[in-house]
Chains A and B, each alone.
Chain A
Amino acid sequence: MAGENAVRLRPPRNAVDRRSVGWWRTQWLLGTAVPVAVLGVLGALIGPARFWLLLPAAVLAAAGLACAAFFPAWWYRLHRWEVTDEAVYVRTGALWQEWRIAPMSRIQTVDTVRGPLEQLFGLATVTVTTASSKGAVEIEGLDHEAAAGLAERLTAITGATPGDAT
């Protein structure tokens, strides 16, 4: 077990952009608001079942608010990323942590994606894919200008790295 040579994965060097907390929080709130609103409207319209519609709505709203308050701040501390000359390294998740590593020599495509919410917060996601359909690495919550620069840098590095990527 934890012998003298015990190792662990070190945290990647860079934190995600501070605005990610707001972005994640908005996602939680929107994700909660839709079912709560549906249940609330139904509760207002259907008299006999009002209690059994409004109760889950209240529970859901409370749970969603708690998650929105709690998880984004936790994620912000845990979501980290790093790009070296050899590899892309990303850590995500809180309860289910996940570290993903893709070597530069095997990277096939570099995509930058900005959803509507991300645009609102000035954020972007960089996705790096390899020849394995299960090996994609996503760097979420980057400042959109930094993301564009990173994508450019990644493209340049992968272009300069020899190998057929499979």
Chain B
Amino acid sequence: MPGDAGEWRRLDRRTSLVTAAVLCGVTAGAGVPVTAGLTGSRPLWQALAWVLAGAVLLIGGGTVAEQVRLRHTRYRIGTDQVELHSGLLLLKRRSLARERIRSVDLTANPLQRILGLVKVRIGTGESTGGGESTLELEFVTRTEGERLRRELLARPAAPETAPDHDGTLAVLDPRWIRYAPVSFVTGLLGGAAAGAVMQVSEWFGVQSEVIGWIGDRFRDVSLTWVVIDLVLLATLAGAVGSLGLWAEMWWNHRLEREPGGTLRVRRGLLSTRSVTLEEERLRGVELVEPLGVRLAGAARVDAVAGGLAEDDEKHADLKTLLPAAPREVAARIAAEVLREPGAPLSGPLTPHPRAARARRLRRALSAVLGPAAVLALLGALLTPVLFSVAAGWTLALSPLAVALALDAYRSLGHALGGAYLVTRSGTVRRATVALQRSGIIGWTVKQSYFQRRAGILTLTATTAAGERAYDVLDTDASEGLLFAAEAVPGLLAPFLEPVETPEARSTEG
């Protein structure tokens, strides 16, 4: 191998303490219910002895196994390669070419922070074989993690780097916590809290008592109010939970541009995370506005970058550069990240033709009327009660469907802003993406029979980053094609031809 291979290093010895502590927690969590279960059939001291013996075996065995793993894991940073050798029986050797490394992320949960350890995740951003392209070190000391991050991402400083853009781009404003309760997390956590109460009470065999107790609280109220109160209670719990989660995820958030052309996000209250990505790999940004957050006038900024694990649900939040913040702030920071003075995300967008609106209204109404028709049919066959259910369903949901459809239509838009193509769509999750025009590596044009009759089509720009494909939905056929041809010069233009008459467009070529 050409070049210096570097010297072998080992993971930090304190890693086994982390394992031991985690196992202690697990055995404590499992031990209590097991003890409770065992005391039913035998005396308490016997149950305790059994459980303690199991705990000692598990913790001791796990820690020894971890020691063995540590002893057989080593890594080295050469001039060309990063290598990781691990495994006792199954030897694993993984090496990454240093020039391909695109991201180095450091994470530490509270336990690891107390011990001064971090987990290092080195990514190459290859689109193939997700697992094979990353290398994880569990765990090394924080100083070693920082050293690796600096060393692996050190590049000869890019000459085009404008010095005035370097440094901190965004620091968390604690007031943004007000956007936490309006996110979907609230509903999820509220539901989870209610579910957890039921589940835990079932474990201890007191579920019916809990339900009875809740029933007692509401003895004098009607069932409707009971339901409303319980939903409010769950929402309140969810809101409190979302505030806590927000604080844990985003505390000390800081978005920086580092010399050498990398962006770094640092955040976390108890668990700290440091995500670094190469600007060279950045293909754009996405301004995401989930419904609640949008109604509050806020938006979050996601990176559209290769090298971030895109299908990996566990790491889905790594691409977020800025949590929900006031929309102007989010747009400004997005423009700074892109180094685009024209702020492509705040400019006006070309609206889509009315046919797109009709399409959305039709879809929304058929989503409501379809089930209603099925209910009515069943009502005719079985019982008239279903007629009133169908009527109630239609009356309640039609206005909502129409409102969402109209909003979805208003969201549609596209434009060219400097070096970026901007497209926006969605209502429940409205997303405005600014995609680097030079990062577009192909076009897909789709037109259904109905779209063809309405003179609209859907453009899809494919790219090597983010979701790999971004749509311009239901745009005017001719205008959309010209837009695509202008966005990426030379790619689409050779395949366009003029239309003589409007009728000619609907016939097959």
CB distance from B238 to the nearest CB of A (A): 35
Point out the residue from B455, B469, B508 that lies within 8 Å of A132, measured CB to CB: B469
A-B contact count (CB 8 A): 132
The reply on B43 being an interface residue by CB < 8 A is: no
The reply on A120 being an interface residue by CB < 8 A is: no
Chain A residue nearest to B439 (CB atoms) is: A166
CB distance from B448 to the nearest CB of A (A): 5
Q: For the complex, what is the distance from the CA of A3 to the CA of B499, rounded to whole Å?
A: 9
Are A166 and B464 interface neighbours, CB within 8 A?
A: yes
The reply on B447 being an interface residue by CB < 8 A is: yes
CB distance from B195 to the nearest CB of A (A): 36
Beta-carbon contacts under 8 Å, A83-127 to B: 84, 86-87, 89, 95-103, 106
Beta-carbon contacts under 8 Å, A62-96 to B: 77-78, 82, 84, 86-87, 89, 95-96
CB distance from B287 to the nearest CB of A (A): 21
The reply on B87 being an interface residue by CB < 8 A is: no
Q: For the complex, what is the distance from the CA of A132 to the CA of B481, rounded to whole Å?
A: 21
Q: Mark A118-157, 1 if CB is under 8 A from B, else 0.
A: 0000000000001111110100000000000000000000
Point out the residue from A8, A12, A89, A132 that lies within 8 Å of B462, measured CB to CB: A132
Point out the residue from B444, B446, B478 that lies within 8 Å of A1, measured CB to CB: B478
B contacts with A: majority SS:
mixed
Chain B residue nearest to A84 (CB atoms) is: B494
Are A8 and B478 interface neighbours, CB within 8 A?
A: yes
Beta-carbon contacts under 8 Å, B493-508 to A: 494-499, 501-502, 504-505, 508
Are B462 and A134 interface neighbours, CB within 8 A?
A: yes
Q: For the complex, what is the distance from the CA of A86 to the CA of B464, rounded to whole Å?
A: 19
CB-defined contacts of B449 to chain A, threshold 8 Å: 95-96
Q: For the complex, what is the distance from the CA of A102 to the CA of B491, rounded to whole Å?
A: 8
Q: For the complex, what is the distance from the CA of A89 to the CA of B464, rounded to whole Å?
A: 19
Beta-carbon contacts under 8 Å, B451-481 to A: 452, 455, 460, 462-464, 468-469, 476-478, 481
CB-defined contacts of B168 to chain A, threshold 8 Å: none
Point out the residue from A9, A11, A101 that lies within 8 Å of B442, measured CB to CB: A101
Given contacts A2-B501, A8-B499, contact A86 B468 (CB under 8 A): no
Chain A residue nearest to B463 (CB atoms) is: A132
Given contacts A3-B478, A86-B491, A103-B491, contact A130 B498 (CB under 8 A): no
CB-defined contacts of A95 to chain B, threshold 8 Å: 448-449
CB-defined contacts of B442 to chain A, threshold 8 Å: 100-103, 106, 130, 132, 135, 137
Q: For the complex, what is the distance from the CA of A135 to the CA of B465, rounded to whole Å?
A: 12
Are A6 and B505 interface neighbours, CB within 8 A?
A: yes
CB-defined contacts of A103 to chain B, threshold 8 Å: 441-442, 491
Q: For the complex, what is the distance from the CA of A113 to the CA of B484, rounded to whole Å?
A: 31
CB-defined contacts of B481 to chain A, threshold 8 Å: 7-9
CB distance from B127 to the nearest CB of A (A): 6
Residue from A11, A77, A130, A132 whose CB has the most chain B CB atoms within 10 Å: A132
Are B491 and A2 interface neighbours, CB within 8 A?
A: no
Are A98 and B444 interface neighbours, CB within 8 A?
A: yes
Given contacts A1-B476, A106-B442, A131-B441, contact A6 B498 (CB under 8 A): yes
Q: For the complex, what is the distance from the CA of A96 to the CA of B446, rounded to whole Å?
A: 7
Are B495 and A89 interface neighbours, CB within 8 A?
A: yes
CB-defined contacts of B460 to chain A, threshold 8 Å: 134
Are B496 and A86 interface neighbours, CB within 8 A?
A: no
Q: How many residues of A contact B (CB 8 A)?
A: 37
CB distance from A129 to the nearest CB of B (A): 10
The reply on B353 being an interface residue by CB < 8 A is: yes
Point out the residue from B127, B446, B477, B490 that lies within 8 Å of A131, measured CB to CB: B127
Q: For the complex, what is the distance from the CA of A9 to the CA of B481, rounded to whole Å?
A: 8
Q: For the complex, what is the distance from the CA of A57 to the CA of B102, rounded to whole Å?
A: 56
Are A98 and B445 interface neighbours, CB within 8 A?
A: yes
CB-defined contacts of A166 to chain B, threshold 8 Å: 306, 439, 441, 464
Chain B residue nearest to A130 (CB atoms) is: B441
CB-defined contacts of A2 to chain B, threshold 8 Å: 455, 478, 499, 501-502, 505
CB-defined contacts of B482 to chain A, threshold 8 Å: 5, 7
Q: For the complex, what is the distance from the CA of A98 to the CA of B482, rounded to whole Å?
A: 17
Chain B residue nearest to A85 (CB atoms) is: B494
Are A106 and B441 interface neighbours, CB within 8 A?
A: yes
CB-defined contacts of A7 to chain B, threshold 8 Å: 478, 481-482, 496-499
CB-defined contacts of B495 to chain A, threshold 8 Å: 9-10, 12, 82, 87, 89, 99, 101
Q: For the complex, what is the distance from the CA of A102 to the CA of B443, rounded to whole Å?
A: 7
Q: Mark B364-397, 1 if CB is under 8 A from A, else 0.
A: 0000000000000000000000000000000000
CB distance from A132 to the nearest CB of B (A): 4
Top 10 A-B residue pairs of the complex, sorted by shortest distance between their CB atoms: A135-B462, A131-B464, A2-B502, A11-B509, A134-B469, A106-B441, A10-B497, A132-B462, A135-B442, A6-B478
25 contacts between A and B (CB under 8 A): A1-B455, A2-B499, A2-B505, A3-B478, A6-B502, A6-B505, A7-B499, A8-B478, A8-B499, A8-B505, A9-B445, A9-B481, A10-B496, A11-B509, A86-B490, A89-B495, A96-B448, A103-B491, A106-B442, A130-B441, A131-B306, A131-B441, A132-B442, A135-B441, A166-B306
